[in-house]
Amino acid sequence: MKKYIVFTLLMLLLTACGRSSIEPTSSYGNTVGQFEAMDEEGQPFSNKDMAGKVWIADFMFTNCKTVCQPMTYNMSTVVDELEKQNIKNYGIVSFSVDPKRDKPEVMKAYVKKYGSDTSHWKLLTNYDEKFIRQFAEESFKTIVVPPTKNNDQATHGTSFYLIDQNGTVIKDYIGKDTGDQKFPKDEIVKDVKTMIEKGPYKK
């Protein structure tokens, strides 16, 4: 009986060690859908280019007058910390919700202001507004309402999303301080490192 109990405890321990310590949130389980876009260098980029890396994703636009600047700054601090810790095999992907205005050169100039290493950061555009609205909803369970003739400001969610090496959305985080909640930079960095070390998430 004692041997059985010891064996059972050992198996439970091994099972726990084989799983990621990351706790999925309500966004868990969706797969990033197919897309074809253009990055800030004017080069093609698609969901196929995301395979095998851990990604942090968000939605933004360069003409934003409210949430995008603090979000982009916060994303830059994540990049700075990952680079400081010499973390490899990760990527950042920011989807423009205003693709008509956000040409590649505009996106490149926008992120350059934050002074971070952009070698792992893809800023995507060159798709239509109908696509980005549907893509955000289906892949990330979030809302995107592109600008209109009467309102040059888009509406979009402010979350950041953790994506594993298989393109599965695992977790979301607040992209900026909200009330008494602070932007969780350290948690994001820790989760990226864990995902790289453990591999794609398994239930």
CATH number at residue 171: 3.40.30.10
Mean pLDDT of the chain: 88
C-alpha dist (Å) from residue 14 to 19, 35, 197? 9, 38, 16
Task: Give the residue from 187, 196, 161 showing the smallest Cα distance to 57.
Answer: 161
Residue 71 domain-assigned (yes or no): yes
pLDDT at 26: 67
**Quick check: pTM over 0.85?**
yes
Residue 2 domain-assigned (yes or no): no
* Strand spans (E) along 67-135: 90-96, 121-124
Query: For the chain, which ranges sit under pLDDT 50?
Result: 1-19
The total of structural domains in the chain comes to 1
Residue 67 domain-assigned (yes or no): yes
pLDDT at 21: 67
C-alpha dist (Å) from residue 169 to 44, 120, 201? 22, 19, 10
Q: Which residues contact 10 (CB under 8 A, 6 or more apart)?
A: none
Residue 81 domain-assigned (yes or no): yes
pLDDT at 18: 40
C-alpha dist (Å) from residue 37 to 44, 50, 75, 128, 131? 6, 12, 21, 10, 11
In this structure, the chain runs to a length of 203
Provide DSSP, 147-180: --SS----EE--EEEEE-TTSBEEEEEESS-BTT
Task: Give the residue from 152, 134, 155 showing the smallest Cα distance to 59.
Answer: 155
Structural domain including 171 reads 22-198
pLDDT at 25: 77
Q: Which residues contact 30 (CB under 8 A, 6 or more apart)?
A: 138, 139, 140, 141, 168, 169
Residue 9 domain-assigned (yes or no): no
pLDDT at 75: 97
Residue 5 domain-assigned (yes or no): no
Residue 1 domain-assigned (yes or no): no
What is the tens place of the pLDDT at every residue in 109-120?
Answer: 999 999 999 999
The answer to whether 17 is a known ligand-binding residue is no
pLDDT at 147: 87
